[in-house]
Structure 1
């Protein structure tokens, strides 16, 4: 006998709810712990809500917690990440859009070989470029700076953004470009007036992808950042590993949520555009 559709649907929903709880539980523990006092943590249960809510751990995590020898909280490092991620995301996305446009609609000899090399670049591990990039930054005089971090993330992200835009532009009707050429539009006019206005879906994909990758990066931050340009992921690691005095897990949890908050907000506000962009052609071609 075949199972009834209603029973199958109930099993699917039960499995989905179970998986959702599995992924939400750590976030719940972090959130509830961050609002508990250190005394309640010692005597209470991780799974219980705070008996007396307090924002003191958040205040300390933001402005007073020690990250190594500095006790300025996460605030300066949060701003370091902001000043790094905005130009890196915008530059890598713009360059990827331009590359995708050229590789798709203004083909030249060797275009396929160049695109293949860019695809290979997507799979090069971070560790493989550390020494060459350190050498390049030394020659440019931007070692241990925010500008150096921006350069690293732009260079590493170009392969991904080019792939996204190139595969999206393949699905754009060629008649749009032909009509623009007939009307006298040139190279840059077609790019700015014809293609960019229809690129919102894939633009959102690249912005979300790059923002998430750059904000959450730890390896490049710990290798290429200096003491004054350290991103928030490195500061969070230093905070968690600082062993002076009593271990304050509530402060650690608050700091972890502060570090993760921008990416959570981005996905909550623009996650649907990410899915739409992918289905609109970002993985075709």
Structure 2
């Protein structure tokens, strides 16, 4: 199974023009089974490049054989029209459950700017068995909010692992209760807005004694002796000041024997972030 995670910057390239078709072309060439996108926009004419089109619909339509899961974490109305901004997951494999998680957004007087954040969770019937695939985009401006979101992510991970331990599907229950199996095994990906040296990153990978499956940085596991490839700061974009890593794949420890490769596609300039690719059996 090939999973791609990409903050597409609403399709706005370094020339400040929006080219969703360029995003689609890159994705098609990479031939993913699961696509996880952040910073997808709809009806945001004031964004750089004029993101007035419904990009959720454009991207879902371009991958008609994939099941879409849409999560506009920011939904603001202007003239009774919703302006949407958030995450999109597309899966070639069958999805059996979807959970949309709102992440904490505590008030922070030091960083009043920001937006609501969320995380898509999809239980996917992958070739190697059921796996949860989760994608998110954490807060950029406020370290307080970002750490709260990371702590909640870790709580949600424990919750899923614990439910997997104690829950067995029961077809005799009323239909809304027939959730089916939701495994602890998981792939977390997205723009975490923190670098590998940060406290946020360390909190994500810190071991817990609560029985949850440990989360492992897939790049660090696969390339322990290789400098980390930057996922932003290439191709002359104004942000960030220097190339660094903000986008990751974290996998549960039980999936490590199935991990084939994780890499950053550095060639494209269709977004201010680079797509990252994970291959797993």
Report the TM-score, using the length of structure 1 for normalisation. Answer: 0.21
Give the greater-gyration-radius structure (CA). Answer: 1
Structure 2-normalised TM-score? Answer: 0.21
The structure with more strand, counted as a fraction of residues: 2
Higher RCO structure (Cα 8 Å, ≥6 apart): 1
